[in-house]
Structure 1
């Protein structure tokens, strides 16, 4: 068969895991494309799906591109697609990646931009064909970063490409020039004077109140606490149901070394906790929450952020991924905005 073509698997156990890891690594893809993450989500989905499919682009006998996608009963739980005029968003949708991934891409290994675009074109066609065979009226990609080559390919194919939300990143590359013991202070020096003063003040007050922070491997019992705090925070935005406790615990435990728990405690009381995800280059501030906005004149949330960012620095990560929304807090902590786009195939496809 000439040129790239796509093979389909309906379980992560049926893909060539070594090939997927190689393509994902070469493309700098995030943790969401690792077999560990895909297997965890397949077996313990946080949001139920009808079916999962793994598209592998093959050329000259080698895997050169990949895309996980999910057929969902409700394709637009946040209303992002409806807001940009996509019809049928309340019905089934075949989407890549999933809504818990804020960095959708089609990782590709290609020797030239022309070859890359040909692979991307082939994968997009395969996604449309798969949606048609599944009877899904909506097919596409969500949370694609501004500047990703797939956006230009989708536009040329007549897909609807529209910004839906903003993601936030904190670059840590420039801290490498500092002594490891000074890197967190070097990070603080990049922030505004008011934020820097607030973080140091809260840190001091928390220490005086006997507060401790820790980063540890996840355990089922404490994950219940993390889930409770996460749901409490998500409820403010109407999305608490995105984190069902049983699936949440099973999913995080299945991630193994890819997940860590960050916690802020005062004696036997947990004030804040989060799950962070790890890949080779990044620490992902995935989910978390706090029990109170303020305790003893400090914010547990600020301490949680400080512990997460410090861990990323100590682990030698190049980026902290802050996820979507909550711009004021993320901007104060030095994060830069990155618009995310949805790419939706035309209804007639």
Structure 2
């Protein structure tokens, strides 16, 4: 169902299974919905009962009335592209099942985070009478070749990207792409936690659970390590599905020797890796809007759609 619907990596079995075994946020209960026509599955949907449902401090800004109350949500906050792999006519049945389950679990709210405005799910939720509230944006770009990508940037951004890579090389920076089993996940976890703490997202990479989760993703994940004289100065955990390359999360240490940005090095290598893997879309995730816009990514408006149980 997930493959046929073209749903993103967050709905793959390995991702959903890894999240159940090593949840990256506090999850009070897991629910998995399957609709069938006879013996044939025609819709699937994971959902998670969460009391602390606001690690990025966004939801309560748009739904202040839901602050501190348990909610049954599809998906988790680590998924920034909500889908329901299903045909549109099945969604009302899934919503009814979700509302009943939320009531059974004692949730006061149920619904969806990070629904791209205008996509099939967004239109189906609107048709069901559920209003949407703008939550945040995610950023994405089309890809073909690296030269074509660079040509699409402004002259200044293109020159800055090339200059940054040259200065990094002159400063002894090395870049390596690794499968998860060979990556330094303990170091990467510490760097990601340190980076998240700069934005007060202190629980977004919960220590040992993060390393276990990434390991369980297997070949869905690719790790980029940027080192200066052996010291890890930037790292990215990237995810892939059929056509998309997700720069899912990263950590950066800006206290480096030399006049370069380790984040810029990491980003450039992410674009190259996406192209090497034959992915046609670069998914840049949320946040850091100024950098992403300057480097050719465009916003996708994401909405929150909640129903009071």
Q: Could you say which TM-score interval applies, normalised by the shorter chain? A: over 0.9
Contact 2:173–2:229 (CA under 8 A) maintained in structure 1: yes
Map 1:155-194 onto structure 2 (within 5 A).
155-172=126-143, 175=144, 183-194=145-156
Deviations 1:245-304 (A, max 9, x none): 100010000000011110111222111111111112111111112111654111111000
- In structure 1, C-alpha distance between the alignment counterparts of 2:141 and 2:256, rounded to whole Å: 25
Instruction: Provide the residue aligned with 1:91 in structure 2.
Output: 69
- In structure 1, C-alpha distance between the alignment counterparts of 2:210 and 2:130, rounded to whole Å: 34
Instruction: Provide the residue aligned with 1:33 in structure 2.
Output: 11
**TM-aligned CA deviation for residue 85 of structure 1:** 3.3
The alpha-carbon distance between structure 1 residues 291 and 81, as it changes in their structure 2 partners (threshold 3 A), is closer
- In structure 2, C-alpha distance between the alignment counterparts of 1:226 and 1:287, rounded to whole Å: 10
1:65 to 22, 39, 43: 43
Alignment pair present for 1:278 and 2:240: yes
The alpha-carbon distance between structure 1 residues 119 and 103, as it changes in their structure 2 partners (threshold 3 A), is same
**TM-aligned CA deviation for residue 227 of structure 1:** 1.3
Alignment pair present for 1:126 and 2:104: no
Deviations 1:177-207 (A, max 9, x none): xxxxxx2122111111111001111111122
Deviations 1:42-87 (A, max 9, x none): 0001112111111111123211111100001222333323222352
- In structure 2, C-alpha distance between the alignment counterparts of 1:147 and 1:97, rounded to whole Å: 18
- Pick the structure with greater CA Rg: 1
Q: Which consecutive unaligned segments of at least 5 residues does structure 2 have?
A: none
Instruction: Provide the residue aligned with 1:251 in structure 2.
Output: 213
Contact 1:89–1:138 (CA under 8 A) maintained in structure 2: no
Return the structure number with greater relative CO, CA threshold 8 A, min gap 6.
2
Contact 1:293–1:301 (CA under 8 A) maintained in structure 2: no
Instruction: Provide the residue aligned with 1:46 in structure 2.
Output: 24
Contact 1:128–1:139 (CA under 8 A) maintained in structure 2: yes
Alignment pair present for 1:269 and 2:247: no
1:217 to 174, 179, 188: 179
Instruction: Provide the residue aligned with 1:304 in structure 2.
Output: 266
- In structure 1, C-alpha distance between the alignment counterparts of 2:210 and 2:107, rounded to whole Å: 27
Q: Give runs of ≥4 in structure 1 deviating > 4 Å.
A: none
Contact 1:277–1:284 (CA under 8 A) maintained in structure 2: yes
1:137 to 89, 96, 108: 108
Deviations 1:145-169 (A, max 9, x none): 1112222332343323111000100
Deviations 1:104-152 (A, max 9, x none): 11012xxxxxxx3220111111111110111100100110111122223
The alpha-carbon distance between structure 1 residues 248 and 267, as it changes in their structure 2 partners (threshold 3 A), is same
Q: What SS is found at the alignment partner of 2:45?
A: strand
More moved, 137-146 vs 228-237: 228-237
Q: What SS is found at the alignment partner of 1:191?
A: coil
2:59 to 70, 81, 96: 81
2:157 to 195, 198, 204: 195
Q: TM-score, normalised by structure 1?
A: 0.85
The alpha-carbon distance between structure 1 residues 33 and 338, as it changes in their structure 2 partners (threshold 3 A), is same
The alpha-carbon distance between structure 1 residues 76 and 303, as it changes in their structure 2 partners (threshold 3 A), is same
What CA RMSD, in Å, does the superposition of the two structures yield over aligned residues? 1.5
